[in-house]
């Protein structure tokens, strides 16, 4: 399983080179499927979504598909995932994304697709693999409002692959409250490991090996 879990997509050459290495062939010889599901649960301006989609499209793929996880037959969704070489899952509300995967019975099929494909997560798309993606972690992290906005009080982790939790956008100008003091307050409450990554960083998972790829800053608290 090859996962490249970013905060803000393939923003620098180090991250793009990591994806090339994981893919094992040029982008122009590969198919990518772009999953915007998490973004639709976010209100307000979506220029960030358009910008990231344009940046990804500009890499020159053989085929660029866009796939919404809700409202389509399960078999159609899984077939489209299987048709891709790279599954690129955009940011937004990670609870909506997790609930879309579990609610549409996609978790097992998604994991089966990932056995032979590269996954790139952006923000919410990077946060859905932790077994600690629960209402408890929502309290610890301080984003229960994102869960309650969905009319929900609980969330089931769709995959539960890792015990560590990923929190993106450290030091981001778009999230000015996410400084080191903010991270320190979360760590003081947390009873699970956490990666904090900035917008120039990704956590790379290949089989059982986890490394960090970065042109920026990050923190890990075991």
Average pLDDT per 10 consecutive residues for the chain, totaling 222 residues: 97 98 98 98 96 98 98 98 98 98 98 97 98 97 96 96 98 96 98 98 95 98 96
Q: How many domains does the chain have?
A: 1
Side-chain half-sphere CA neighbours of 45 within 13 A? 4
Query: What whole-number percentage of the chain has pLDDT above 90?
Result: 99
How far apart CA 147 and CA 192 sit, in angstroms, is 20
How far apart CA 222 and CA 216 sit, in angstroms, is 20
pTM summary value: 0.97
Q: By CB neighbour count within 10 A (0-12 exposed, 13-18 middle, 19+ buried), where does 63 fall?
A: exposed
How far apart CA 115 and CA 112 sit, in angstroms, is 5
CATH number for the domain spanning 107: value is 3.40.50.880
- Quote the pLDDT of residue 208: 86
Residue 216 DSSP code: S
Question: Quick one: tokens of 214?
Answer: 């970065």
Q: 144 lies in which domain range? A: 2-221
């Amino acid at each position: 399983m090859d996962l490249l879990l970013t905060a803000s997509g393939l923003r620098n050459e180090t991250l793009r080179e990591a994806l090339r290495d994981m893919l094992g062939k040029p982008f122009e010889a590969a198919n990518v499927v772009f999953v915007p599901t998490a973004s639709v649960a976010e209100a307000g301006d979506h220029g960030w979504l358009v910008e990231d989609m344009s940046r990804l499209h500009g890499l020159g793929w053989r085929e660029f598909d866009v796939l919404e996880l809700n409202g389509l037959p399960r078999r159609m969704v899984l077939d489209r995932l299987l048709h891709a070489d790279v599954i690129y899952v955009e940011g937004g509300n990670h609870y909506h994304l997790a609930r879309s995967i579990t609610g549409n019975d996609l978790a097992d099929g998604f994991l089966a697709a990932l056995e032979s494909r590269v996954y790139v997560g952006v923000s919410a798309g990077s946060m859905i693999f932790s077994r600690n993606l629960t209402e408890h972690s929502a309290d610890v992290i301080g984003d229960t409002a994102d869960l309650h906005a969905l009319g929900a009080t609980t969330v089931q982790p769709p995959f539960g692959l890792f015990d560590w939790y990923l929190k993106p956008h450290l030091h981001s100008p778009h999230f000015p409250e996410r400084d080191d003091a903010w991270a320190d307050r979360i760590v003081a409450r947390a009873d699970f490991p956490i990666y904090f990554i900035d917008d120039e960083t990704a956590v790379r998972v290949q089989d059982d090996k986890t490394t960090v790829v970065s042109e920026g800053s990050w923190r890990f608290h075991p």
